[in-house]
Amino acid sequence: MLYQRSSQLFIEAEKVIPGGVNSPVRAFKSVGGTPIYVKEAKGAYLFDEDGNKYIDYINSWGPMLLGHSYPPVVNAVIEKAKKGTSFGMPTEIETEIAALAVSMVPNIDKIRFVNSGTEACMSAIRLARGFTGKEKIIKFRGCYHGHSDSFLISAGSGLSTFGVPNSPGVTKGTAHDTLLADYNNIESVKNLFLENPDEIACVIIEPVAGNMGCVPPIEGFLESLRKVCNENKALLIFDEVMTGFRLAKGGAQELFGIAADIVCFGKVIGGGLPVGAFAARAEIMDYLAPVGPVYQAGTLSGNPLAMAAGLAMLTAINEDEKLFERLEEKGAYLEKGLTEVLLKNNRKFVINRIGSMISVFFCENNVVDFNSAAKADTPEFKSFFHGLLQRGIYIAPSSYETWFLTDALTYEDINFTIEAVALATQS
């Protein structure tokens, strides 16, 4: 494949955009080379500016659960745009999507829309602090909750990829209020509660971690976490920006049967437009302004185009009784195929998968937390990534990321992918 035009576009971009990109992981820093520039995308495929075609396993990092240019979403946005693009005043569609989301997701009565997953998570911890009157939060090493200051402490993917454990610009004071636990290790959480009695407002977690590669919770971990939070009167926040509307209609809460106190959304909920949201039972949500004292706002929050895309997306998900079954079957089929060819090629690897989220780690140990994920061999991943890219398969340019499957993916696409992995991993 040739990447002439992409390379040229990247050179132009670097002159006027820091690193040429508007979000660091797009820059191919950890795998080498220069990013490909997308011209358009349809269904399971990406087409770049040089005319190359790829089967897409990033899918905008999660939102495109039903494939690119999904007609109901595209049409909804076009029709809405004709009536004006933003008012800063209430519109009926905000209530429609809120009611639908509340009906799909367990344990929430009210939801507030924002513009990104970052905003959702940062607002959720402010609400948790306001509601409990406590200041500290617990997060897990390797979990990512957006780029707001409180979370840029051992934050997975982008940061791990670049080896920046903490970002300059985050104050010591802020870092002091974020306590770190190890994923899948309930003792590490209990110890933090013991060391900081009556100080912890909330525990925030990706119920299936997706930002250190895909790392599912081990049996009983989320249950124990729920119990420890109850015992310490701390709120449990599920950051379902990645898992929400992807693992089940009701996300990880439904899949695992665990009730969170606050749930954060992003990605799928916006159907590819900039949307985030956070939700909880009424007692907690009514702590927000204008009814309650916790302030949170946004000029473009609930934007009509974004709500139209989100509503079309959630409606499609809600009405399709077999969607999650199909995604599970495709995921299982891909996992089985990858396992066979990697074994045949004598590779040492671990595959973690849950539904339509899957990761291949080149290591021998089980991957259950950030430390074990970090042992995956990075040079091997580099050649794997480029081997797949050359063969028309686009996965995330970092070993700390999850592959996202879409319903648009056919079994022919999956077979093609498995074959490409077989060729890319031959010794």
Residues designated catalytic: 144, 239, 267
192: Cβ contacts below 8 Å, ≥ 6 apart: 138, 179, 181, 200
Number of H helices, E strands in the chain: 15, 14
> Closest Cα partner for 117 from 20, 36, 21, 204?
204
Q: Do 35 and 7 form a contact (C-beta atoms < 8 A)?
A: no
CB of 204 to ligand PLP, least distance (A): 9
Binds ligand PLP (CB under 6 A): choice among 20, 24, 67, 117: 117
Smallest separation, CB 269 to ligand PLP (Å)? 10
CB atoms within 10 A of CB 217: 22
Interaction between residue 121 and ligand PLP (CB under 6 A): yes
- Under the binding rule (CB under 6 A), the answer on residue 116 touching ligand PLP is yes
> Peptide bond before 290: cis, by omega within 30 degrees of 0?
yes
Detail the DSSP E strand segments found in 232-337: 235-239, 262-265, 276-280
Cα separation of 314 and 103, whole Å?
11
Q: Is 210 in the site for ligand PLP (CB under 6 A)?
A: yes
Binding flag, residue 105, ligand PLP (CB under 6 A): no
Using the rule CB under 6 A, give the single segment among 31-39, 142-150, 244-252, 392-400 that binds ligand PLP: 142-150
Binder among 56, 94, 206, 369 for ligand PLP (CB under 6 A): 206
Q: Is 152 in the site for ligand PLP (CB under 6 A)?
A: no
Among 146, 271, 304, 355, which residue interacts with ligand PLP (rule: CB under 6 A)?
146
| Local structure of residue 135 (DSSP, 8 states) | -
Tell me the C-alpha distance between 205 and 236, whole Å: 8
Among 211, 296, 303, 425, binds ligand PLP (CB under 6 A): 211
Angle formed at CA 154 by CA 227 and CA 64, multiple of 5 degrees: 80
Each residue 271-290 as x (binds ligand PLP by CB under 6 A) or -, in order, gives -----x--------------
Q: Tell me which residues in 219-258 interact with ligand PLP (CB under 6 A).
A: 239, 241-242
Nearest one of 203, 199, 221 to 143, comparing CA atoms:
203
Query: Could you tell me which stretch among 139-147, 214-222, 225-233, 409-417 binds ligand PLP (CB under 6 A)?
Result: 139-147
- Answer yes or no whether residue 401 interacts with ligand PLP by CB under 6 A: no
144 binds ligand PLP (CB under 6 A): yes
Torsion-angle region of residue 402: left (phi > 0), alpha (psi -120 to 50) or beta?
A: beta
- Size of the residue set binding ligand PLP (CB under 6 A): 15
The whole-angstrom distance between residue 395's C-alpha and the CA centroid of its chain comes to: 15
With CB under 6 A as the contact rule, which of the stretches 24-32, 161-169, 203-211, 225-233 interacts with ligand PLP?
Answer: 203-211
Residue indicated by tokens 């402010």: 126
| Selected range binding ligand PLP among 13-21, 144-152, 369-377, 385-393, rule: CB under 6 A | 144-152
In the window 334-363, what residues touch ligand PLP (CB under 6 A)?
none
Q: Does 145 bind ligand PLP (CB under 6 A)?
A: yes
Which of these segments, 51-59, 102-110, 206-214, 381-389, binds ligand PLP (CB under 6 A)?
206-214
Assign 376 to helix, strand or coil. Answer: coil
Looking at the Cβ atoms of 130 and 266, the one nearer to ligand PLP is 266
**For the purposes of burial, counting CB atoms within 10 Å of the CB of 100, is it exposed (0-12), middle (13-18) or buried (19 or more)?**
middle
Residues lying near ligand PLP in the complex (CB under 6 A) are found at: 116-118, 121, 144-146, 206, 210-211, 239, 241-242, 266, 276
